[in-house]
Amino acid sequence: METKKVIRAQLLSKREQILAKDKKLWEEEIFRKLLLLPEYQNHDTLLLYVNYQSEVSTKKILEHSLKDKKRVFCPRVLSAQEMEFYEVKGMEDLKEGYRGILEPITTFAFSKNERALMILPLSAFDFLGNRLGYGKGYYDRYRQDCAHLSAVGLAFQCQLWEGILPAEDHDQKLDKVITQKQVYDFS
């Protein structure tokens, strides 16, 4: 079985090779599919990653959700082990932070007992709902305290691992993954 590190490198390399014109079209398709999800329609609060490098862009999701009067919280890394989500009212509430990723400069934190839809980035996923992140475990640790959150990953089809991803006890499965091709439902 291949290691997480090897799989991550292989699939991130594929993602980085996506042509800009394809990426833009595929992101539109992912955005359209997200808006149709009952989880999106039925939640007033989103925990939304801010895209970095070749990840599926979330700017349009953030702007659209705010226009829909949803509350949007984005992650900020607080330490090597801790990440929290803070409410944002627009792109102006984000400044470059951990690893150059835009993070909230606001101070109103998400209450972990609230209902929300969490939208996560990923390096890879498989047909069982296993998610491979970037190796730091921030989202897995956060979700351990928030099992009630609906968790949806955004990815391009090339990030689907055809086998079963290596998973450890602390790894948290996703409820769904949206790609430009389809919505994978693991719930």
Q: Using CA atoms, how far apart are residues 83 and 72, in angstroms rounded to an integer? A: 16
Q: Quote the domain boundaries for residue 115.
A: 4-185
Averaged over 32-59, what is the pLDDT?
97
**How many domains in the chain?**
1
> Mean pLDDT lowest for which of 67-76, 115-124, 137-146, 173-182?
137-146
| pLDDT at 38 > cutoff 70 | yes
Return the CATH number at 116: 3.40.50.10420
Q: Using CA atoms, how far apart are residues 29 and 163, in angstroms rounded to an integer? A: 25
- Cα dihedral 60→61→63→64 (10° resolution): 110
Give the tens place of pLDDT for each residue, 113-170.
Answer: 999 999 999 999 999 999 999 989 999 999 998 889 999 999 999 999 999 999 988 8
| pLDDT at 2 > cutoff 80 | no
The percent of residues above 70 in pLDDT, for the chain, comes to: 99
